[in-house]
A and B are shown apart, each in its own frame.
Chain A
Amino acid sequence: MDILRRIMGYVARYKWKAITAMLFLVLLISLNLITPYLTKILVDDVIRGGKRNLLVPILTAIFGFAACRGLLSYFRSFLFESVSQKCLYDLRNDMYTHLQGLSFAFYDDNRIGELMSRMTGDLEGIRMFVVGGLSILLENAIYFTGTTIMLFSLNAELALITLAILPFIAWVAVKFNKTIRPAYSEIREQQANLNTAAQENIAGVRVVRAFAREDYEIEKFEKENRLNQEKNKNASFIWARYFPLIEFLSGFCAVALIGYGGWMVAIEKITLGTVVAFNGYLWMLIMPVRMLGWIVNIIGHAITSGKRVFDILDTGSSIKEKSNSYFSDEYRGDVVFDNVSFSYKENSILFNININAPAGKTIGIMGPTGSGKTSIINLIGRLYDVSSGRVLVDGVDVRDWKLSALRSQIGIVMQDTFLFSDTVEGNILYGNPDASREDVIRAAKIAEAHDFIMEMPQGYDTIVGERGVGLSGGQKQRIAIARAIIKNPRILIMDDCTSAVDMETEYEIQQALKKIMKGRTTFIIAHRVSSVKDADEILFLDNGRIVERGTHEELLALKGRYYELYMQQYKDLDEFRSKRQVI
């Protein structure tokens, strides 16, 4: 009930529209209730009773009523639609804004497909309730009581006989909806499975072909396809079992009316007009009963959908901004890790990390896969919160910073490069929407991306991303670097973002970066010694601990893990050098 109340809270914002719509509805129903009565007068008094002078007024009334009904029902549904669309609009925006505020941890746990279904299917469930459920519930309740009163006042005996079957119709209708609902949701689930099977086959086509797994893929898809067929058949069979039965039972009322009503007319207990009027009212009564199942369904649906939607709206971000958070006009870019430990989902990731990176310094981070490199840099922009210790930027704990101020100072190039379906220029401008075309080109040149961009069909106006031109890993990485550069950040973080770029290009990028990052702080995660060797301090991580730290020379002199790595990568350097000296 709480959920419905919350949904109604959205409706209440447009209460005057809703109230007007309800008023129209009540008027409309009253007109509808009178119409069959007019027919009764027509049959009994005008046709049979011979009061021909009443013909014109009655016919005019029938027509006039129909016209009024048309107008009323038009505006009623227009208003209801408007209210429901407004609510939907509000809810959608609330959801979107809220999703934007949720932390990385939330996105680690929630699949995009799942979030999409909440933003589409579940919001649709709520809309259905607002537009249909509410007005139809009201409409049918009034119809039901109104018609029942009319029928009983016309003739109680006939009313009792013809309506005897109603509870049974209601029972079947409710049962029908209860059975078919899970069947429909099974179809939806299976469609999602089918979708995944096809989508992965297409996206992974290179793997499928490389392993010659076409037959296996066909078999896999056929299984899902067959299940999809079964689920669809199943739902239709349920429909076939119940729906014609409901039709039949509704028709039974009319049969009872002809039989029993006809008998009553024959023994002159009632007039023929009463039977005709009954016939008119009967359908007004049967409809609400048949709708009962639908209404129960809509409400049930709204409750489950509402729960899923509000669950997200009620999810607090694990990253909370303090009330009087810190921001300033001038930022330096000093970064300090003060005894930082970090664990995530009961796994300890980092232990007692201490780093001091005053503005202008470059920190290189190395270490095997899973040693915690990315976690360190994620803590700087407060993408996650530390478990203990402090991360300070410009001497202020990042938890005291205004988030947007903090993150505006940081340019991150992430390991998994994500580009939007936009032009190359649009993607680079994402880092700084106010930048000019010249700035874009300058950033692209620094990132060594300009040349290949110019070779693309429309240059900077080429559309890339999921729905655009396919780029190689190295090309994506370079555009992502340009995107971070154009932001002109005080702190630049590069998370293994040149892995797909050849060494020479990487070298060029680094030389160019060195110039623009003067006086700013840079963090570089890399696997190649060449990427980090110029850093002011190199941290070698293993299992969440800094096992070695120092400059390139210091670490070489240490002859530890870093040295080992260096030797593996450059074992013939010395040999090469000596050769060069010979040359």
Chain B
Amino acid sequence: MLRQRITDDEALEKPFNKEQFKRLMSYMKPYKKQLLITLVLMIVAAVCGLLGPLILQLAIDKYMFKEKLAGLLLITLAYLGVNLISMLCVRTRVRIMVVVGQEVLFRLRQDLFNHIQKLSFTFYDSRPAGKILVRIINDVNSLSDLLTNGIINVVTDVFTLIVALAFMFSIHFRLALITLTTVPLMVLVIFMLKRTIRVRWQTVRKKVSNMNAYLHESLAGMRVTQVFVREPETREVYRQLSSDIYSTWMNAIKVNNLFWPSIELIAAIGTVLIYWFGLQFLDQGTVTVGVLVAFTGYVWRFWQPLNNLCNFYNSLLVAMASTERIFELLDVRPDITDGENAVEMPPIKGEVRFDNVTFYYEPEKPVLENVSFTVRPGETIALVGPTGAGKTTIVNLISRFYDVVDGRVLIDGVDIRDVSLNSLRKQMGVMLQDPFIFSGTVMDNIRYGKLDATDEEVMEAARVVYAHEFIKDMEDGYYTEVQERGSRLSQGQKQLISFARALLADPKILILDEATSSIDTRTEILIQSGLRELLKGRTSFVIAHRLSTIRNADRIMVIDHGRIMECGSHDELIKKKGIYYNLYRAQYRYLMAI
């Protein structure tokens, strides 16, 4: 019954798209000079490479005789020189292009990252984290080859082909033609075979990434697997995935390994043809022995540029798919941005007003409908109601994590869309139910709330939430590394740390969204008494299930179906005998049934 669900709908290749290619190339624009130098270097290197067989031919025909020894020495030195130039060209080219290519990759990646910092939760809600990550890391990486080598290589390869042809035709026209007869065959083999090879390796890559995804998840869920004794089934799934790789791999190898022998065979045909016809030309006296030897060398020099061209074509297709994804992400418009005339939010006093607020993701499913309320500075408001009633939405709107569809959210009388996001959020402290812990030390994690806080300040914040005790008992105290989403901490400890983090930020408005659900009651009550001092004069919103948390609030708002059903202090609402009263009673129902 064990299945694995991997939705890999990302295209691996895309046809060439001129617009996007142009856009990608615009990143190369600042480096025109470097590109030009590289091109010249590559062409020089290509000529040097082609001179090799020519020199051998000259040596054989003209200088391998007693009277020409000085010439032989000269040509040997010339050969050495050509090699030296070629070496220097390659070296310089790599040094230039790698700087250019890496700078472009850096820019592209940074642009992507900077861009996603501006996107709102709506964006993150709509796609899994993994897909965003792949764009920033893998898609940018996959452009590396195209940018550092691909484009330059393609120009030089075309050039090499032309020069080689020119050399051959100028030496001996008919022999050149005969040599060329094998080229169409070579082109055919390279392009046909490479296509199949490419497709098959893609299948392998997909299978490998499937297996790795499964592996990652089964390692993450190993505890669950062991507890449920599901080892045999997961092992079977893994074995199946693993054996898929074996068969697809061998399938790819079957065609992959045809490539090199085919090229060799075609080159052998070329060699045979050259000697067969060449010998006749030799007898006619139109060619020399050296020319024959040189020509067999040229046959070998054809397939390399042809192969490179083919590889370039393939990597272009892959790069196009990545490019499309990268630009698609860059083109996502941030939907929550600072207004044109956004001003700094002045220091918040703490009045929060909802003025006829309506909010929904989809019009037919309203989340909040015409919600209006005013919270006075320094009040503590508890939000109560069933799951999905809209409690979290209300607090999300206060921090402007989403924008209202209709109506206004005002803080100290200012519409929050009129102030800069940064100045608004800096004055709020939000604590979420699922606390996020960054990898790094405990100290760093708390300090995230106020980057320039001293160690003393961090510890003070930890003391207020009673986190100091357990932190100092950890192996390196505040400097203990917490790894991979803080896996060494219990849920309650994570909540305490993120609580300390929120406090350190010294927020004017504090929002606690089921932030203490995993903290034991004793600690929670201790925290509350500490907080009371600290939060004097600050507005706070609390969403909680525990009555002890709720009942201390100045006012309690009962939310259901996107509306505020009741509002008042605990005593008032109890007296009113409405929804809260019933909720409250329900919570005690079985306790009283003792």
The answer on a CB contact under 8 Å between A201 and B113 is yes
Residues of B within 8 A of A226 (CB): 106
Provided the pairs A248-B87, A463-B5, A530-B590 are in contact, do residues A262 and B63 lie with their beta carbons within 8 angstroms? yes
Question: Chain A residues near B272 (CB, 8 Å)?
Answer: 59, 62-63
| 14 A-B pairs whose Cβ atoms sit less than 8 Å apart in the complex | A66-B268, A73-B257, A195-B133, A200-B439, A202-B124, A218-B110, A248-B83, A251-B83, A414-B224, A421-B4, A483-B228, A499-B517, A501-B545, A570-B588
| A561, closest chain B residue (CB) | B522
Chain B residues with CB under 8 A of A206: 121, 401, 430, 432, 436
Given the interface contacts A259-B76, A496-B491, does A59 sit within 8 Å of B275 by beta carbon? yes
Check if B137 sits within 8 Å of A368, measured CB to CB.
Answer: no
- Bound state CA distance, A200 and B433, in angstroms? 17
Contacting residues, chain B, for A279 (C-beta < 8 A): 56
Q: Does B235 contact A96, Cβ atoms closer than 8 Å? A: yes
A89 touches B215 (CB 8 A): no
In the complex the two chains form, is B66's CB within 8 Å of A267's CB?
yes
| Nearest-neighbor residue (CB-CB) of B212 within chain A | A120
Q: Does A204 contact B (CB under 8 A)?
A: yes
B60, CB-defined interface residue at 8 Å: yes
* Alpha-carbon distance between A421 and B448 when the two chains are bound, in angstroms: 31
| Assembly CA distance A500 to B516 (angstroms) | 10
Contact between B216 and A116 (Cβ–Cβ < 8 Å)?
yes
A residues 189-220 in Cβ contact with B at 8 Å: 191, 194-196, 198-214, 216-218
Q: Given known contacts A202-B132, A466-B217, is B227 in contact with A381 (CB within 8 Å)?
A: yes
Residues in chain A near residue B257, CB distance under 8 A: 73-74, 77-78, 81
Docked Cα-Cα span, A206 to B448, in Å, equals 13
User: Which of A1-9, A229-237, A284-292, A385-393 lies on the face that meets chain B?
Assistant: A229-237
State the CA gap A431–B6 with chains docked (Å).
21
Q: Does B265 count as interface, using CB distance less than 8 angstroms?
A: yes
Within 8 Å of chain A (Cβ to Cβ): is B188?
Answer: no
Residues on A with C-beta less than 8 A from B133 are: 195, 198-199, 202
Give the Cβ gap from B455 to chain A, nearest Cβ, in Å. Answer: 18
Most buried by B among A431, A527, A553: A527
Chain A residues with CB under 8 Å of B337's CB are none
A92 on interface, CB distance cutoff 8 Å: yes
Q: How far is the CA of A267 from the CA of B439 in the complex (A)?
A: 75
Flag B197-225 by CB within 8 Å of A: 1 or 0 each: 00000000000000011011101111111
- Say whether B565 faces chain A, with CB atoms less than 8 Å apart: no
- Report if A272 contacts B (CB, 8 A): yes
B residues 473-496 touching A (CB-CB < 8 Å)? 483-485, 488, 490-493, 496
Stretch at the interface among A11-19, A133-141, A467-475: A467-475
A120 contacts across to B, CB distance below 8 A: 212, 215
Are B433 and A500 within 8 A (Cβ)? yes
Interface-side segment among A97-105, A168-176, A326-334, A516-524: A97-105
Contact A421 B6 (CB under 8 A): yes
Tell me whether B59 and A244 are in contact (CB under 8 A): no
- Chain A residues with CB under 8 A of B79: 251, 254-255, 258-259
Taking a contact as CB atoms closer than 8 A, the residue among A211, A370, A407, A570 that contacts B470 in the complex is A370
Whether a CB of chain B sits under 8 angstroms from the CB of A487 is yes
Distance (Å) between the CB of A362 and the closest chain B CB? 14
Complex CA distance for A475 and B387, rounded to whole angstroms: 10
Which of B63, B64, B68 has the most A CB atoms < 10 Å from its CB? B64
Contact A211 B1 (CB under 8 A): no
Q: Give the chain A neighbours of B418 by CB distance below 8 A.
A: none
Contact A55 B226, beta carbon cutoff 8 Å: no
Chain A nearest CB, measured from B459 CB (Å): 18
Contact B95 A55 (CB under 8 A): no
A296 adjacent to chain B (CB < 8 Å): no
User: Is B295 among interface residues, defined by CB-CB distance under 8 A?
Assistant: no
Name the residue among B113, B222, B230 with the largest chain A CB count within 10 angstroms: B113
Question: How many residues on B have C-beta within 8 angstroms of the other chain's C-beta atoms?
Answer: 169
B453 at the interface (CB under 8 A from A): no
A515 on interface, CB distance cutoff 8 Å: no
What separation, in Å, do the CA atoms of A159 and B498 have in the docked complex? 74
A119 interface residue, CB < 8 Å from B?
A: yes
A100 and B231 form a contact (CB under 8 A):
yes
Interface residues on A, range: 35 or more
Q: Does A314 contact B (CB under 8 A)?
A: no
> Is B317 an interface residue, CB under 8 A from the partner?
no
Are the C-beta atoms of A569 and B265 separated by less than 8 Å?
no
Q: What is the CA–CA distance of A71 and B583 in the complex, to the nearest angstrom?
A: 81
Instruction: Say yes or no: is A438 at the interface (Cβ < 8 Å to chain B).
Output: no
- Cβ–Cβ contact A407 & B589, under 8 A: no
Closest A residue by C-beta to B401: A209
Given the known A-B contacts A214-B117, A430-B224, are A69 and B548 also in contact in the complex, defined by CB atoms under 8 Å?
A: no
Contact with A along B23-49 (1 / 0, CB 8 A): 000000000000000000000000000
Interface positions of B from 250 to 281, Cβ below 8 Å from A = 250, 253-254, 257-258, 260-262, 264-265, 267-269, 271-272, 275-276, 279
Q: Is B243 an interface residue (CB 8 A)?
A: yes
Given A96, A473, A507, which contacts B238 in the complex, CB threshold below 8 Å?
A96
A152 interface residue per 8 A CB criterion: no
Bound form: Cα–Cα A88–B483 in Å: 30
A420 in the interface (beta carbon within 8 A): yes
Q: Residue on B with the closest CB to A571?
A: B548
Q: Is the CB of B387 within 8 A of A527?
A: no
Evaluate contact between B102 and A232: CB separation under 8 angstroms: yes
B293 at interface by CB-CB < 8 Å: yes
Q: Which residues of B sit under 8 angstroms from A240, Cβ to Cβ?
A: 90-91, 94-95, 98
- B355 touches A (CB below 8 Å): no
Give A10 Cβ to nearest chain B Cβ, in Å.
14
Given contacts A116-B215, A229-B103, 18 further A-B contacts (CB under 8 A): A46-B279, A52-B279, A78-B257, A81-B253, A112-B219, A201-B113, A202-B129, A232-B98, A236-B148, A244-B87, A247-B87, A263-B69, A272-B289, A370-B470, A433-B233, A527-B519, A553-B594, A579-B574
Which of chain A's residues have a CB closer than 8 A to the CB of B265?
66-67, 70
Given A198-B137, A533-B591, A568-B521: A252 in contact with B242 (beta carbons within 8 A): no
Q: Interface stretch among B163-171, B307-315, B419-427?
A: B419-427
**A window 364-390: CB within 8 A of B:** 366-370, 374, 381, 383
Please give me the 8 A-B residue pairs with the lowest Cβ-Cβ distance, nearest first.
A70-B261, A66-B268, A259-B76, A433-B1, A210-B430, A212-B425, A236-B98, A240-B94
**Least CB distance, A231 to chain B, in whole angstroms:** 10
CB distance from A59 to the nearest CB of B (A): 5
CB of B514 within 8 A of CB of A500, answer yes
Q: How far is the CA of A236 from the CA of B62 in the complex (A)?
A: 42
Docked pose: A376 CA to B532 CA in angstroms: 35
Q: Which residues on the A side are within 8 Å of B333 (C-beta)?
A: none
Cβ-defined partner of A116 (8 Å) among B75, B219, B222, B276: B219
Are B520 and A569 within 8 A (Cβ)?
Answer: no
Q: Is B569 an interface residue (CB 8 A)?
A: no
B399 at the interface (CB under 8 A from A): yes
* 239-267 of chain A: CB within 8 A of chain B: 239-241, 243-245, 247-248, 251-252, 254-255, 258-259, 262-263, 265-267
Asked whether B55 lies within 8 Å of A368 as measured between CB atoms, the reply is no
Q: Is the CB of A212 within 8 A of B422?
A: yes
**Is A434 close to B, CB under 8 A?**
yes
Q: Which of A97, A204, A218, A511 contacts B114 (CB 8 A)?
A: A218
B592 proximal to A (CB < 8 A): yes
Confirm or deny: B136 has a beta carbon within 8 angstroms of a beta carbon on chain A.
yes
Whether B125 is near chain A, meaning CB under 8 Å from some CB there, is yes
Is the C-beta of A42 less than 8 angstroms from some C-beta in chain B? Answer: yes
Taking CB atoms and an 8 Å cut-off, the chain B residues in 557-586 that contact chain A are 574, 583-584, 586
Q: B498 to chain A: which residues have CB within 8 Å? A: 207
Chain B residues positioned under 8 Å from A431 (CB to CB): 228
| Interchain nearest-CB distance for B113 vs A (Å) | 5
B229 within 8 A of A: yes
Chain A proximity of B265: nearest CB distance (Å): 5
List B contacts of A27 (CB < 8 A).
Answer: none
**Is A504 an interface residue, CB under 8 A from the partner?**
yes
Quick check: is B286 within 8 A (CB to CB) of the other chain?
A: no
